[in-house]
Structure 1
């Protein structure tokens, strides 16, 4: 028995007879000359496979083929061939440069082909074979989302070097990824209510848009094949791959050639680095499907992922709906095998302008009648969602003034809610995602911080009204150059969108807003105006002392808030005076007398119940608490006053 989701339907239609199993409509029996067909996995995508003998080619050498190169694959029909039982249990040494081109000439330069026992498939035959569907044996690496562990201490030096290099290149373990089939099985993790759910026959189709930049070959192909293998063919109108100016060779002609064998896949290449938003808009510009489904290039779709998303958009065209997002380990490529229930929805940190996950409020959990019902969400992660093409167009697509990456998820979340739509997360849809250990993206000459600030300030200026100051304070009100936003403001006016206050009160009433602040920003010394109080990264540890440091104007460790109840806060920590050793730290807030401050008319930072004031010692680095005096070394200036 093989799962339908792992079968390339074109090959089956042309060459195999499909008999539906009585056990489940989702399981099929493959019959070829009345014998079950046994097939194993492709082991590595980036080199030619050792050839299984065919009459039209030179036979492989009779010497035993090393096990690390062995696999078995479906052969084209009407060709008699002999095959050996092949194993992919051993370590794969076929991991060559990610930029390797698919040519015999290049391959001969790799030590893989120095072994005389390995026969290289000619390019012409490879092009004919590479589109054929391959189903891994159940014990193949990574099947059913199982972890793949590599004992790196046993790798040869060149393999270990390759292992480390590919890990650094991608931010995940490409060496392991290349050992896993492009068509690996994933368990059906839907809850029983979802499995029992029926969908109408007239669901709209979708255009899937996937943007990529220097993505690993095996990861990208698993993304594409998981879409094709686990979606009803009539619902996938097209898949648009937008290569955002990658510089790896396998994402040039080899990508075009491979995807040309898949009828519904189109590849676009940008002429310069555009960033996620503009690359998505390029893909959107050529779509013709009823709906749009945006996916990242390092995901795997679970069984039944698409129908719930399309059903919601079909029922309510103003809904943008996202799937559950199980995690694929960046190291072992294991995938979460169970999502028992929908427990979290999207939120965001208003001071950092970053997406986060929040527990579903108790009242909303109690109102849920069925585990298969979608859940309203204030924000979505942004990488994976489906939306009506017409509604996406009506509300202004994306802000093309955003650069590279970051902020686009909050921008579209605010815009959908404030301009007549809603966001949902559907518990019956799951798309697993690789969360990289580190970001491998090339951000160009602009520092990452400036790119993220550029995008986030555009969001805040257009959509957040007076609430934007919560974020601006963390920037010390240094907004940088965020470009022209006049067209986006005009869009908001044209659509007659709600205020951000409406969004907070009606969509996200559980948002954590900082307490009302009297003063925010940097604390600059009168004695040395270039010196500011700096938390030195302390947050909940009494071991890190507060110091005086050169003012940098970037907020962060030098951004503070004096609240109405006398706290000097940084994030969720409070400035505390340790009376025993006379030191200052940021620790957990407790409301005690050593954490209760006031800003006096003489511009002193004073402990309210103590006659002690914050003082900059003459070395301009040490901060201390001394008896209050109206002198410059005890006087401070805040960036902004709210009263």
Structure 2
């Protein structure tokens, strides 16, 4: 009996040993048949591809001496200063798009459940995407959505009747990213590949701006190596969005450049209308209608109205819908719309025109207002700016953040460059609107000599022309006419100030000694009174008392600032007056209007 048990034990051990040997043999065979190849040349590029006999397309990226020389504009000097050894360029095999796709998910605006087939799109589980990246996008929501999906149709029916020239120019789509979520980035790439004609899409250039998330390292390199038509360029130092886009532009070979954020989804037929406008006039930059991708659930929502991009005197971008009169003037709902500014999320421009007009301002740091600068420059220097209604691209909405009343210094520096180069005497209006004590120090440190020389070389118009012909609404807004600054009461010899309370949905206003503090600066524009703390806060009523509320909560109260100094609430016809209470504080209330009454007499004091 004992002998029999020993035999059984030896037999089990032998079986385990045989299985281990078989496993080792299999691993050896895989290593021999599918070795990972790396080659490095003297230029400092590292090329990676993986076996299986695929054709290597490294020559696409060995063009630093050829294509980079096409950009001999002085403005691209920061790009030439980026040494080749500071870059890692990862090429791709061939031009075919043979990567295995999952079945597309045609959907409406509903919640998505995870599909079993989704796992087929990747070769391993990317748990690193669970980590929190700097954008703080909700990855769990993105992971539930397939890498390939078809967005719901949102184009006007007339768009389907448009016939475009088959000989439209080739395109390079440039996407700069830093620590982007895995699924969000790849969904952007595949939406471009899936919805762009092959003959028009020359390449997608991914510029990795020194990401440190694990899923964007070798995993991304391996994934990209299996997709035709995509290049991956890695920078070994932070460039910022502007620098990354400039690097991609210098390496691009397409006739037209598309600068796109790494969290977009392209609508079917998005590219042809944009290229058609560029073919008709290369001296223009265009942008699609931007739909909204919800940052929580990644549902896709169509933008309901055609809107123009505009900016205020603080050079902040916002959107305005067309008035009824403007809509009536338009001969067709699908005619491209001239706009003062296009968003920076998707910018389409002829490559040589982009070069000749001065590219992006390389003196700007990171991203923020570069689209405003480019739009103003194009208008003033003989070009035009349009939004094309038959082209739609979804853009991931940003996560709501708490109000920050302090201007980001990097963005402020970028705005100062715009004001100093392009706004002429109106730059004083910008400085008044910002209302920050240290802005003068920043402006003194700003060297815009190179951009001023560019303006002279291009023979650009003055900013007054822009105000008269492109965006006259902003010229009527204030500041120049003294309707920006301190809201001063003549009888009390005091100024209105905001009692800001982040825990409340409204904010009280009171009278106080005059200064130049942010909470005492106001803008009267378009019959509304905005706080300089943030343009989302407007004068409103709460039981006849004046308070500040969020302008987006409801239709903001409208006001008439008369020449006599009365501030009239238009819906009621009553006037704003000061009322002192027992505590010694003075607040603002509505009352019947009375002529020549000091506590109802106001004026804006410019600062």
Query: Which category of TM-score, normalised to the shorter sequence, fits these structures?
Result: 0.5 to 0.7
Determine whether 1:179 maps to 2:144: yes
Distance 2:224 2:139 in 1: 21
Distance 1:517 1:276 in 2: 37
Match of 1:69 in 2: none
| Equivalent position SS for 1:333 | coil
Taking a change above 3 Å as real, the CA distance of residues 433 and 573 of structure 1, as seen in their structure-2 partners, is closer
Q: Do the aligned partners of 1:209 and 1:295 also contact (CA within 8 Å) in 2?
A: yes
Match of 1:72 in 2: none
Task: Compute the displacement of 1:448 (Å).
Answer: 6.0
Distance 2:474 2:547 in 1: 28
Determine whether 1:462 maps to 2:430: no
Distance 2:280 2:109 in 1: 36
Match of 1:390 in 2: 352
| Equivalent position SS for 1:545 | strand
C-alpha offsets along residues 512-535 of structure 1, whole Å, 9 cap, x if unaligned? 74245447545899xxxxx98531
Match of 2:381 among 390, 415, 419: 419
Match of 2:226 in 1: 261
Match of 1:215 among 172, 177, 180: 180
Q: Do the aligned partners of 1:295 and 1:383 also contact (CA within 8 Å) in 2?
A: yes
Match of 2:315 in 1: 353
Match of 2:197 in 1: 232
Match of 2:361 in 1: 399
Determine whether 1:492 maps to 2:455: yes
Task: Compute the displacement of 1:191 (Å).
Answer: 2.6
Match of 2:552 in 1: none
More strand by share: 2
What are the residue-to-residue correspondences of 1:134-149 with 2, within 5 Å? 134-137=100-103, 143-144=106-107, 146-148=109-111
**Aligned-pair Cα RMSD in Å:** 4.7
Distance 2:324 2:280 in 1: 27
| Equivalent position SS for 1:332 | coil
Task: Compute the displacement of 1:352 (Å).
Answer: 3.2
TM-score by length of 2: 0.65
Match of 1:381 in 2: 343
Task: Compute the displacement of 1:468 (Å).
Answer: 3.0
C-alpha offsets along residues 415-461 of structure 1, whole Å, 9 cap, x if unaligned? 11111111111122111111121479xx9xxx862122111121122
Distance 1:207 1:258 in 2: 20
Taking a change above 3 Å as real, the CA distance of residues 613 and 331 of structure 1, as seen in their structure-2 partners, is closer
Determine whether 1:502 maps to 2:457: no
Distance 1:359 1:613 in 2: 36
Match of 2:272 among 307, 320, 324: 307
Match of 1:276 in 2: 241
Distance 2:536 2:135 in 1: 33
Determine whether 1:534 maps to 2:493: no
Unaligned runs of 5+ in 2: 1-25, 28-51, 53-92, 115-126, 549-555, 568-573, 590-601
TM-score by length of 1: 0.62
Q: Do the aligned partners of 1:136 and 1:184 also contact (CA within 8 Å) in 2?
A: no
Q: Do the aligned partners of 1:518 and 1:561 also contact (CA within 8 Å) in 2?
A: no
| Equivalent position SS for 1:199 | coil
Match of 1:332 in 2: 297
Q: Do the aligned partners of 2:113 and 2:144 also contact (CA within 8 Å) in 1?
A: no
Q: Do the aligned partners of 1:147 and 1:334 also contact (CA within 8 Å) in 2?
A: yes
Q: Do the aligned partners of 2:339 and 2:385 also contact (CA within 8 Å) in 1?
A: yes
Match of 2:330 among 368, 373, 384: 368
C-alpha offsets along residues 155-199 of structure 1, whole Å, 9 cap, x if unaligned? xxxxxxx99976786443311211222111223433332222222
Q: Do the aligned partners of 2:208 and 2:235 also contact (CA within 8 Å) in 1?
A: yes
Distance 2:168 2:343 in 1: 25
| Equivalent position SS for 2:150 | coil
Taking a change above 3 Å as real, the CA distance of residues 165 and 179 of structure 1, as seen in their structure-2 partners, is closer
What are the residue-to-residue correspondences of 1:555-594 with 2, within 5 Å? 555=518, 557-560=519-522, 570=531, 585=547, 588-591=557-560
Task: Compute the displacement of 1:324 (Å).
Answer: 1.4
Distance 2:361 2:538 in 1: 37
C-alpha offsets along residues 216-254 of structure 1, whole Å, 9 cap, x if unaligned? 000100111111111111211111111122221222222
| Equivalent position SS for 1:254 | helix
Distance 2:156 2:578 in 1: 60
Task: Compute the displacement of 1:410 (Å).
Answer: 0.7
Taking a change above 3 Å as real, the CA distance of residues 542 and 167 of structure 1, as seen in their structure-2 partners, is closer
Taking a change above 3 Å as real, the CA distance of residues 253 and 339 of structure 1, as seen in their structure-2 partners, is same
Task: Compute the displacement of 1:407 (Å).
Answer: 0.8
More helix by share: 2
C-alpha offsets along residues 124-151 of structure 1, whole Å, 9 cap, x if unaligned? xxx9xxx96444446xxx6435433579
Match of 1:449 among 394, 403, 408: 408
